[in-house]
Structure 1
Amino acid sequence: MPALDRRERDEFLQQPGILCRIATVDSSGAPHVTPVWFICEDGAIYITPRAASEWLDHVRHDPRVALTIDDQNPPYRKVVIEGVAEVVRQPGDDAAWRDLYRRIAMRYVPPEAAEHYIQETIDQPRALIRVPLEGARIRTWRMPVRGEPYRGIWHDRYYLPGTKLARESGQPPSEGNQR
């Protein structure tokens, strides 16, 4: 699949309404995945767990995270980020960064509804998590768009020898299957 260039990636990460899924590691070493609202600003992904979120404790124990951000419509853009999360604000310090939280909420609901949501949940403290893009492993891809060749939509390791897509990608035919 074609990778997103940096401009395409950054534009995609600015699109409202797309969820992020954060994968953390619990204290037993088991994976834990949670869908979350996010915003991408200043070269980082920001996420706001509630004080009682299980995954906030996971990040405190082991800050390694994986994020997946993808859309459900063509061209099915996907961004996978493997990085290190930082707890930049502890629960109870919410007033210091409430404008950022407001911007996050407005990515998912209209401004008046976002403000209502904030006011209704203002007494529920949240932390602020930052996952810097610099230093993270970032992979991106999307389906080809009109006019782009379909060949090459997958990594070469997925083309089984002798299959149509392997032939079209230029792989030599496998023994016993010379078609």
Structure 2
Amino acid sequence: MSTVPSEAERLLESEPLMAHLGTCVDGRPHVAPVWYRYADGIVEIVTTGRKLANVRRNPRVSLSVQKDDAGRARWMVSLLGTATVIDAEAETAAARRRINDKYGAEPDAYDENTLVRIEIGSATYQTY
């Protein structure tokens, strides 16, 4: 059962928007934009570099997604969760294809990235 309210789920699934992933490094926040896919209470991202290294050290993460029109916020969803790095190439490739499809990218683009699944612990949202 998802901890994400159904209206927030609808917003998260509505269109290909950037999310901002918050991780922690050396006791300080690190926030970076990512593509994501939300389904059934789980967020999937594929990433590499500092974000991936941070998640491997500390799986507690946050994700923020906002829809705006010309700088005016229309809605926002904030998620707190626990990330798991999935090092299985077949699962990563399948997730990469799902995410790339959502954002209109070539199916096998960004093949250096690794799958990270985020189980949502809590969610807040607001529409404006």
Q: State whether residues 92 and 114 of structure 2, in contact with CA within 8 Å, keep that contact through their aligned partners in structure 1.
A: no
Task: Kindly indicate whether structure 1 or structure 2 has the higher relative contact order, using CA contacts under 8 Å at least 6 residues apart.
Answer: 2
One of 38, 46, 49 as aligned partner of 1:48: 46
Q: 1:98 to 1:29 in 2, by over 3 A?
A: same
User: AA paired with 2:122?
Assistant: R
1:46-98 deviations in Å (ceiling 9; x for gaps): 11112xx10111111111111101111366111101121111x12xx323442
Distance 1:15 1:24 in 2: 25
Counterpart position of 1:98: 93
Secondary structure of the 1:107 match is helix
Q: Is the 8 A contact 2:46 2:95 kept in 1?
A: no
Of the three residues 74, 77, 91, the one matched with 2:75 is 77
Change beyond 3 A, Cα 1:96–1:23: closer
SS of the residue corresponding to residue 23 of structure 1 reads: strand
TM-score by length of 2: 0.84
Q: 1:131 corresponds to which residue?
A: 118
Q: CA deviation at 1:121?
A: 4.1
Could you tell me which runs of 5 or more consecutive residues in structure 1 were left unpaired when the two chains were aligned: 144-179
Which aligned segments of 4 or more residues in structure 1 are displaced greater than 6 angstroms?
none
The aligned counterpart of 2:127 is: 142
List per-residue Cα deviations over 1:119-152 (Å, max 9, x = no partner): x544x2x22111112xx12111011xxxxxxxxx
Deviations 1:91-121 (A, max 9, x none): xx32344222111111111xxx423xx1x54
Amino acid at match of 2:10: E
Structure 1 residues 7 and 137: alpha-carbon distance in aligned structure 2, compared to 1, 3 A threshold: closer
* Percentage of matched positions with identical amino acids: 26
Alpha-carbon distance in structure 2 between the residues aligned to 1:34 and 1:121: 16
- Change over 3 Å in CA distance of 1:141–1:129 after alignment to 2: same
Structure (1/2) with the larger strand percentage: 2
Aligned residues: 123
Max Rg structure: 1
Give the TM-score, by structure 1 length. 0.62
